Structure formats: structure tokens, C-alpha cells
Structure 1
Amino acid sequence: MVASVLSPWASLPQATRGRRYAEAAAPTRTEHQRDRDRIVHSSAFRRLVYKTQVFVNHEGDLFRTRLTHSLEVAQLGRSIARPLGLNEDLVEAICLAHDLGHTPFGHAGQDELNACMQDFGGFEHNLQSLRVVDALEERYPQYDGLNLTFETREGILKHCSRANALKLEAQEPHGVAARFLTGQQTSLEGQLANLADAIAYNAHDVDDGVRSGLISLEQLQSVPLFAHFYTQTLAEYPQLAQPHAQRRLLYETIRRMLSAQVYDVIHTTRLHIAQAGVQHVDDVRACGQRLVRFSDAMQTQSQALKHFLFHHLYRHEQVMHTMDAARQMVRELFDAYMAQPSMMKPRFAWRAQQAASPAARARAVADFVAGMTDRYAAKEHVRITGQQLLPAAMN
């Protein structure tokens, strides 16, 4: 049944904990609708179109990017939020913003930048996403960042180490990092955005992996979640076994797989909400466990799919070769900018040159590198080093 009003345990837009800088209410939009719109119009959001999901831009026009991934996460998030009576606008805002801090070249870029920053506080893309909306976007004369609501910012910060939580708490007492110190949960909308992310990337990485030729439909038969709906689809549409119909077979299998996960989350979450007896968003935060979740059976199947993708796609020799080149580019760009900050864009160069400590200088460099698209990072690397580590089409 589709919910027509927000549930008592939803994050009500009129009950927002507000923004760090007070603003008058918008005449035609809720606070979380405004957050979504600010995110969509941000520079960081536009740059996601040229940031790697799994396959770098030069490898094909139809592979997912961080932008298309974020749109798919938002669609799944809204589809689950509505029947649960959750705040769809808040879910959408969190989903669209969750990867704003991602580096070029996917997880390889993040891992290498973290290694570069090891002596300066480290780097984590999730924390960087919050940093983007809080400080790095420059759109308004009154403040840095996008000045989003507490609820959106809290949802963006999905993970946080205790050390980073303590730093954030010192800057913003009882703020978005407090729950990592007190053991509380985020809102149901934040929990949903996190799970929608996992559902989306598992499904579209199957699609991209098969399209790339790095994994096959035959290999995927070892994955129970995929194999079940593959067999079901063929039983209903045997004509899809023909070679020319393989794309339709794959799409229909993924569609059914996605639907099963969505319905499982809706059903399981309703059960956990009822069992926990929550009646308000504060009850959700005080709950000792996440309430938006898969059933145990679906969680096992989802983990099996994730395990398959890790070993057969993310660790495929071709992907690893590209990612090794990406790591080298990120490392050499970081080292070059640390040695000569003037090579960066003016506002980052100024920050690095004015930095009161090596850590502050390194953070300015990390902010610059993390904000790059894949193609810009490749061009910069060629400009600075004269080496072309990826094909010319990248440039």
C-alpha cells in the first residue's frame, strides 16, 4: 500500500533542526526540497558525470558514472521511502549528495589519496562529501558551503571514525557526528539512503560488468540472487535465450532482482519498526539497531553478490591495470602540488600557501585533488609530468 502522508517516525520537514546559518523559509518549498535543489545546482554534483564508478570514462560511453549512480540511488530511495511513509525529499537529497566527496578514479583514487594523507589526518570520501557541502562549495556571499539542513548533513555522513567524530563534535557540539560517539542511529531516511546505495551499485555493476565483457551470464549463475531471477525470466520468456536477446535477458533479470530487494526492504523495515515500537524520529535515533534493512535471507544473498563482484569484477586484471595507473596519477599529483602549490587553482593555491601547518597545506591539496574529474586529473598529470598513463581518449 502506498503511503499518502508521512509516518510519525519520519523526519518531518517542519520539524527540522535547521541550518548552521539561519535563513528565512522558502515560500514554495520545504527545507529538504531546498537542500535537494542546492545539491543539484552545485559544481560538485556536475563533476560527478566524469568521475569513475568502476570503468573510467574513456572505456565506454554507456558505463555508469558517479552521477548516474547517484541518480539511480535516489530513484531507489524514493521508491522505498513512499510506501514506508518517509520523507522522500530528504531521502533524495541525501542520495544525490552521498558521493560528492568522491575522488577521481573511484575507490583506487580514494585509497591512494588516503595513503598520501596518512600523516595529515587521512582521507575518507564520505567525510569529504560533508566537507564539500559544508565548506568547499562557493555559491553564496554569506557563508561557505551549501548550508544544508542538519538532517541532510547527518545522512551524508554515513561513516565516521571516532577520531574524526571528536574533531567534528568539537567544531559543532551535538551536531552531525554526535551519534558516532553516543551509539545512536541516524534517521530512517539516512538509513534508507545508505541501503539504497548498496542495492544500486550491486545491480548496475552487474550490468556494466557484463557489458564490458569482464564477467559473463554463465559466471553469474554461481550467484543465487541472480541465478534465481535469470532462471525465472527464461522460463517465462524462453525466446530470450537467443544470442541477439541477451541484453533483454540481462535487463529483465536485474529488474526482477532489484524489485525483490526493494520489496524485501519495505517488508522487513515495517516489521522492525513495529517490533521496536518507535513513534517518533527521536525513538529511531535512540534505537540500538538499524531499522531499515534486508531480511536475513536477502542480506546473505546480497553479500554473496557483492563478494562475486569484488573477486570477478573489481579485482579483474583489466580493472586493476587501470586503477594502478590511477593510483600513480593521484600520488604524483599530490606530491607535485605539495611541492609547488602555485600549480593548483588559485583558491586552493592560496589556502596551501597560507597554511599554518603541513597538515593544513596537505588538506588544501587533498581538497583540490579530490574535486577533480577523471579527465581533468589525467590532463593535469600529463601537464605536470609529461606522462600519459591512460589512453589519449581520456584527454
Structure 2
Amino acid sequence: MKLLFLRYISNRSIGESLRSSILNTGIYVYDTPESLEEKVFYWFNEDEDKLLETVLIGYDSKERRITEGWIGTAEPVADDSLKIVIGGIKPLREEQIREIERLYVNASKYKKNLKDVKEYLFMRELPQDILYDILYDLKDSCVHNSKKDKVFKGDYTSLKKDDISFLVKEMERNLNPLAQRSYMAKRAIGMKKPDECRSEFQRDKDRIVHSKAFRRTVDKAQVYSTHKGDHYRTRLTHTLEVNQIAKGIARSLRLHEDLVEAIALGHDIGHTPFGHEGERQLDLIMSGKLKLCKDHNPENFGGFKHNYQSLKLANYVEEKYVECEGLDLTYQVLEGMLKHTKIKKCKGIDCDTCCNKCFDIDEFLIIGDKEKLYLNQPFASTLEGQVVAWADEIAQRGHDLDDGVAGKLVDINDLKEELKEYEFMSPIVSIIETSLDQIKKSKRELVDPGELLRARVTPKIIRLFIDDIAENSRKNMDEYLKTHEIKEDVMIDSELICFSKEMKKIVDKLEEVINLQVINSQEVNCFDGKSMYIIKKLFQAYYNNPKQLPDHTLRRIQRELKDMNIPTVDVRKGKKRDVDREILIFKGIICTENRKEDFLKQKTFMRNIADFIGGMTDNYANSRFKELYNGN
């Protein structure tokens, strides 16, 4: 959102004149320099109401710092193109002034500091959250804390050893000292008493398997469209493969298999229809980088990323309990789901400087304490979470090759010859050559030699990866135990689960070679292009006419606004005039006197559209697209 800055020297006569005018009349008339006349005309005419939120900065040239600040609303004088009237002026609090000062000296977003701008009148586009810090008193604000207040909190948010049954303790008795155990489980709500026969993490696994989000993964593409054939992987089949690989590694290292399974089964429930291209399109919209239509003013609402969305679905969107939203999973499972893809912390003022690689956790963790997700480290604080992250990597390398060969995008013989150019790839070359030789020497009549070759090569490569990561991780764990004291709550601050350096090099090269042939193929890119188009058109349809949204999405929007004490109009039952006006506020086209509430309405509206589209299966997204656009 754009903000007009008027800078003045507070320790000179202009500062005295400005203060006197404000204190006496509540307004200030600024004479624009002729050199800025064209810019000022453009700034005001860009805004429909010809009103601009304005910050007046009092800069002390001797002390070289901002000593005072004011906020107001500027508008041009009708018969004088060089005069601007700033009214409704109020002084800024000390903490608001310091927020401006932070922008004043930080060049990471603005290329040069505010103090290096030569003009005394200039525009800057600020993230909404920073803007509201400056413009409004946020002591009672919910702009930053729109997290849902829990009306219910159970007795089992944290457990003690005595809470766990003898049977469960026996099941966990032989685990590695670095493994998680049921008594370490922590939940945001924790209303259910520990089970006599199931570990805490098995309960999480069961909740995930019976969730709607998990069932939908059966019809969400991995890389190829599900229309291509039944033998290509979907999100569900990929998830089952990740689960199998992760369990194998966990058993080898004596880690908690129930926790590994829960994380593995839940890690991809936040994926959009049509694979990563659907995710990229939603992220462009939710990070303010894609204009949906002429009247749309893109804003950064925290982005969209499937691992963060998995967190939101499990933590808030899924319906299971009368008393609360979500599945009430343990933080150990939530963290593992979030970090199966490494998270990156933003180093700039906001996400515009980090290439869409960080996202606003507060937009996704609606219930709970983000401190318990250990966001200061990009990898999971449990070894079980680290295992799933690498199992996901192994599964992806396996099925990229397998599906590539099945789709005739990768030729095994050509791949072998290409990999021969790299001496360090000899283990993979050896697997391919051995498999080819075995098939060639087979004494039985083969129905489909190509199918058999795939069935031989892919599992052997996966086995190679699993053996290496298990052996290397076991060494790392043994060394860690020698140098660290193990506490009651095990929190690992090092990435102990990983490939050896030699194997990591092999894995990376295999990914590079296969990606060139599969991910960059015409077939995959045609599918991605169509996917991108459908997701964008669906969002446009719901943005332009929210009445096309299903009742449950509209009810969720209403409920979330009600939880923040923001009045809203029922889109289904309200009077047409009121509904039309409310929709314009949702879209950010018109504003009321309460800009803070307007912003929250807009954010809630956009986020719920993203949630609805993100939860669609491929078939449902296609059918909705045809229904909304008459099949065109």
C-alpha cells in the first residue's frame, strides 16, 4: 500500500511553522515544488478518492535522527496544482516514530535509505502490516494477532511419564535415547486423555488418515496429470512411498515409527490441485505479485506454500471436534510436516527481498504457539521429522525416474551413458548395467522388458540411498550422544539425518539430469501451463463474484471476522445494496473510515479463497472451471 511522506527539518523555521499550523488549525498546507508537480498530479490521480495517507517526518539535522512525526490525510487543492492540504493530523507515538526510523535507515527493500531521497515529498510502497503499525494504535489491534482465541483448553497440552500407560511405555522402551516418546508429546489444546494402547503419535497418525485433506490427495497430481493414466503417481501414492521409506530408516535407527508415519502421512495434505504449478499460482496471488483484474490492488497476504498450508489444514481447517477447530496434533508432528521442505527466514523488512522463499507463519498456524515449532532452525528438532524430510527427497528421486521412463521421457540406456561421464555416478551406472544384464540373460519369456527394468532399477537406487543415509545418520547420532547431555524433552539442534557427502553428490546430479528430461519436457510444461491458467481463472471468478463461493467458505469468512469483532454483512442473506458494498470492501476497491478493519476483511476474504482452491482435487478444480466458464 502506498504512503506519502513529507519530510521537514524539525530544528529549523519550517518545523516551527508546521507545528504552529497543526496545533492551531489541525491542518497543514504544503506548497509543492514545481519540479514535483507532475509526480504529485500522478500520485493523486492514481487514487480514486484523491486522498493519500500521509506521514510527516520531523528530522533533526544536528542530532541526525527523527525527533517527531505526524499522520494525516492529504488531498490536492482544486484550483491550485501546487498546493496540498493535509488534514486530520495526529501526532505519532514514540514506538511508531521508531518504526519509521527503522525504515529510514534500512536499505534492504528500498535500494537506498529514506534519508538519501533528495525530495522532501516522496511516495513509498509499504507492506500492510508495517503501514498499520505506523497509521494506527495497535495496542488493541488484531492486524498482527488475528490468531483464534481458544475458548477451550484441555488438561493434556503437556504430559508426564505417569500419564502414559505401561503398554505404551513398553513399546517405546527400546528406542534410541534421541528418539521422541509419548510423554514428550505437546499439543496446542490437548483435550483427549492419553490412550491405553496407542502412543500419542499413533493417535495423530489415525487422525490424519481419517481426515478429508488426506483423502483428497488420491486425486492430486504429483508431476503428471492423473488423466495420463492410472500408473502414474498422485500425492497419495507418493505419500505412501515416503511413509514406507521413512519407516525403514526409522526402524534402522530405532526412532519412533509412529511419529515418522504421522509426519509422512500428513506432510503433503496442503498441496494444491495440479502439483507445484497450482501452488506457485496461489503464491503469486497471495504474495501480491499477480493482478487478478483491473480493479485489483495486489497486496502481500503472507504467500502460499504447501508445507505451511498442511499446518493450517491440520491445525485449523479440518473439522473433528465439537469444542475446537483442527485435529489437535502434537507440535512434533506439526513441525515435521512444516519442515519436510526446509523453511527459510526472511532477512529483509518483508518478503519482497527473499524470492518467495519465506512465508508468514502467523497466517497458517492459527491455533498454537509458533515458538514450539523452533522456527529459528530450518530443519526439524526431532530426528523423526528429519527422517521424513530425507525420505521425501529419496521418494521424489525414485518416482521422477520411474514415471519419466514410463512416460518415455527418460531412456534408461541414454541415462546410463550420460551418467558414465561422471566417475562419482558409478554406483547408479552399476545398478542400471546389472539390471540390463539380468534381463538380457533371463530364461523366461518377458511380457514387458521395459516394465521389468523399471521395477528393478528404481527400487535398487532407493535401497542405495536408504542404506547410505541410515549408516551416515547412525554415525552422526553416536557422535551427538557423546557430546550432548540428553534431557527429558529431546530437542535436536543439529541436522543429524543426512546423506554422506559422496551420496549427496550422487543424489543432486541424478536430480539435475532427470529434471532436464522430465520437468522441462513439453508434456509436463503443457500440463503446468493449463494448471496455472485454471487456478488463476478460478481465483478470478471467486474474487469478482464471491457469491459463487460455497456456503461453507462464506460462513468461514463470517466466523473469522466475528472472532476478530469485525462487523460484516451476510453475503447470502443481506440486502443487495449492503452486500454489494461489503464485496467492494472485501476486494479493497472502497474503504471505510476504519482502514484496519477493511484490511482484515480483504485479507480474510483472499485467504479463504486460497484455502478453498488449495483444497480442491484435480477433478473438482477442472469441473468447477468448466461450470464457471461454460467449458471454455
The one of 287, 300, 305 equivalent to 1:124 is 305
Tell me, in whole angstroms, the C-alpha distance in 2 between the residues paired with 1:281 and 1:314. Answer: 45
RMSD, aligned CA: 2.4
Match of 1:268 in 2: 472
The one-letter amino acid of 1:299's match is K
The one of 100, 104, 111 equivalent to 2:273 is 104
Tell me, in whole angstroms, the C-alpha distance in 2 between the residues paired with 1:247 and 1:65. Answer: 19
Q: Secondary structure at the match of 1:100?
A: coil
Give the structure with the higher percent strand. Answer: 2
Q: Secondary structure at the match of 2:375?
A: helix
Match of 2:408 in 1: 213
Tell me, in whole angstroms, the C-alpha distance in 2 between the residues paired with 1:360 and 1:298. Answer: 45
- The answer to whether the aligner puts 1:27 opposite 2:196 as a matched pair is yes
Residues 68 and 387 (structure 1 numbering): CA distance in 2 closer, same or farther, change over 3 Å?
same
Residues 75 and 301 (structure 1 numbering): CA distance in 2 closer, same or farther, change over 3 Å?
same
Tell me, in whole angstroms, the C-alpha distance in 2 between the residues paired with 1:65 and 1:348. Answer: 26
The one of 526, 548, 559 equivalent to 1:343 is 548
Report matched runs for 1:162-181 at 5 Å: 162=345, 164-165=360-361, 172-173=368-369, 175-177=371-373, 179-181=374-376
- Note the C-alpha offset of 1:275: 2.1
- The answer to whether the aligner puts 1:143 opposite 2:324 as a matched pair is yes
- Note the C-alpha offset of 1:107: 0.5
Q: Do 2:184 and 2:489's aligned partners in 1 also have CA atoms closer than 8 Å? A: no
The one-letter amino acid of 2:381's match is T
Task: Give TM-score, length-normalised by structure 2.
Answer: 0.58
Match of 2:212 in 1: 43
Q: Do 1:134 and 1:146's aligned partners in 2 also have CA atoms closer than 8 Å? A: yes
Residues 18 and 280 (structure 1 numbering): CA distance in 2 closer, same or farther, change over 3 Å?
farther
Tell me, in whole angstroms, the C-alpha distance in 1 between the residues paired with 2:366 and 2:556. Answer: 22
Tell me, in whole angstroms, the C-alpha distance in 1 between the residues paired with 2:545 and 2:499. Answer: 49
- Note the C-alpha offset of 1:161: 4.5
Report matched runs for 1:62-77 at 5 Å: 62-77=231-246
Q: Do 1:101 and 1:129's aligned partners in 2 also have CA atoms closer than 8 Å? A: yes
Match of 1:280 in 2: 486
Match of 1:371 in 2: 615
Q: Do 1:214 and 1:316's aligned partners in 2 also have CA atoms closer than 8 Å? A: yes
The one-letter amino acid of 1:199's match is I
The one-letter amino acid of 1:285's match is M
Tell me, in whole angstroms, the C-alpha distance in 1 between the residues paired with 2:329 and 2:193. Answer: 13
The one-letter amino acid of 2:455's match is Y
- Note the C-alpha offset of 1:255: 1.5
The one-letter amino acid of 2:508's match is Q
The one-letter amino acid of 2:611's match is D
- The answer to whether the aligner puts 1:52 opposite 2:221 as a matched pair is yes
Percent of counterpart pairs with the same letter?
33
Match of 1:358 in 2: 602
Show CA shifts across 1:189-237 (max 9, x none): 0000000001011101211111111221123212435422111223445
- Structure 1 outlier segments of 4+, above 6 Å: 166-171, 281-284
Match of 1:255 in 2: 459
Residues 286 and 64 (structure 1 numbering): CA distance in 2 closer, same or farther, change over 3 Å?
closer
Tell me, in whole angstroms, the C-alpha distance in 2 between the residues paired with 1:4 and 1:239. Answer: 49
Tell me, in whole angstroms, the C-alpha distance in 2 between the residues paired with 1:185 and 1:96. Answer: 16
Tell me, in whole angstroms, the C-alpha distance in 2 between the residues paired with 1:4 and 1:201. Answer: 33
Match of 2:431 in 1: 229
Tell me, in whole angstroms, the C-alpha distance in 1 between the residues paired with 2:260 and 2:492. Answer: 20
Residues 306 and 183 (structure 1 numbering): CA distance in 2 closer, same or farther, change over 3 Å?
closer
The one-letter amino acid of 1:271's match is K
Unmatched tracts of structure 2, length 5 or more: 1-171, 288-298, 346-358, 420-424, 562-599
Tell me, in whole angstroms, the C-alpha distance in 2 between the residues paired with 1:351 and 1:311. Answer: 43
Q: Do 2:184 and 2:488's aligned partners in 1 also have CA atoms closer than 8 Å? A: no
The one-letter amino acid of 2:619's match is R
The one of 440, 458, 481 equivalent to 1:238 is 440
- The answer to whether the aligner puts 1:83 opposite 2:252 as a matched pair is yes
Tell me the number of residue pairs that the alignment of Structure 1 and Structure 2 aligns: 384
Q: Secondary structure at the match of 1:175?
A: helix
Show CA shifts across 1:5-47 (max 9, x none): 2111001123212443332112221110010011000011110
Q: Do 2:179 and 2:490's aligned partners in 1 also have CA atoms closer than 8 Å? A: no
Tell me, in whole angstroms, the C-alpha distance in 1 between the residues paired with 2:557 and 2:265. Answer: 30
The one-letter amino acid of 2:230's match is D
Tell me, in whole angstroms, the C-alpha distance in 2 between the residues paired with 1:96 and 1:332. Answer: 31
Task: Give TM-score, length-normalised by structure 1.
Answer: 0.90
Q: Secondary structure at the match of 1:379?
A: helix
The one-letter amino acid of 2:395's match is A
- Note the C-alpha offset of 1:169: 8.3
- Note the C-alpha offset of 1:170: 9.8
- Note the C-alpha offset of 1:181: 2.7
Larger Rg: 2
Residues 54 and 183 (structure 1 numbering): CA distance in 2 closer, same or farther, change over 3 Å?
closer
Q: Secondary structure at the match of 2:627?
A: helix
Give the structure with the higher percent helix. Answer: 1
Q: More displaced, 361-370 or 12-21?
A: 12-21
Tell me, in whole angstroms, the C-alpha distance in 2 between the residues paired with 1:92 and 1:99. Answer: 13
Tell me, in whole angstroms, the C-alpha distance in 2 between the residues paired with 1:108 and 1:183. Answer: 24
- Note the C-alpha offset of 1:55: 0.9
Residues 353 and 284 (structure 1 numbering): CA distance in 2 closer, same or farther, change over 3 Å?
closer
Residues 169 and 68 (structure 1 numbering): CA distance in 2 closer, same or farther, change over 3 Å?
closer
The one-letter amino acid of 2:386's match is Q
- The answer to whether the aligner puts 1:303 opposite 2:472 as a matched pair is no
Q: Do 2:439 and 2:449's aligned partners in 1 also have CA atoms closer than 8 Å? A: no
Structure possessing the higher relative contact order (Cα contacts under 8 Å, 6 or more residues apart): 1
Match of 2:385 in 1: 190
- The answer to whether the aligner puts 1:384 opposite 2:580 as a matched pair is no
Q: Do 1:113 and 1:123's aligned partners in 2 also have CA atoms closer than 8 Å? A: yes
Residues 240 and 372 (structure 1 numbering): CA distance in 2 closer, same or farther, change over 3 Å?
farther
Q: Do 1:72 and 1:200's aligned partners in 2 also have CA atoms closer than 8 Å? A: yes
Q: Do 2:260 and 2:384's aligned partners in 1 also have CA atoms closer than 8 Å? A: yes
Tell me, in whole angstroms, the C-alpha distance in 2 between the residues paired with 1:205 and 1:168. Answer: 30
Show CA shifts across 1:80-111 (max 9, x none): 10110100000000000000000000000000
Q: Do 1:45 and 1:100's aligned partners in 2 also have CA atoms closer than 8 Å? A: yes
Tell me, in whole angstroms, the C-alpha distance in 1 between the residues paired with 2:179 and 2:471. Answer: 17
- The answer to whether the aligner puts 1:317 opposite 2:522 as a matched pair is yes
- Note the C-alpha offset of 1:167: 6.5
The one-letter amino acid of 1:344's match is L
Tell me, in whole angstroms, the C-alpha distance in 2 between the residues paired with 1:46 and 1:70. Answer: 11
Tell me, in whole angstroms, the C-alpha distance in 2 between the residues paired with 1:248 and 1:275. Answer: 42
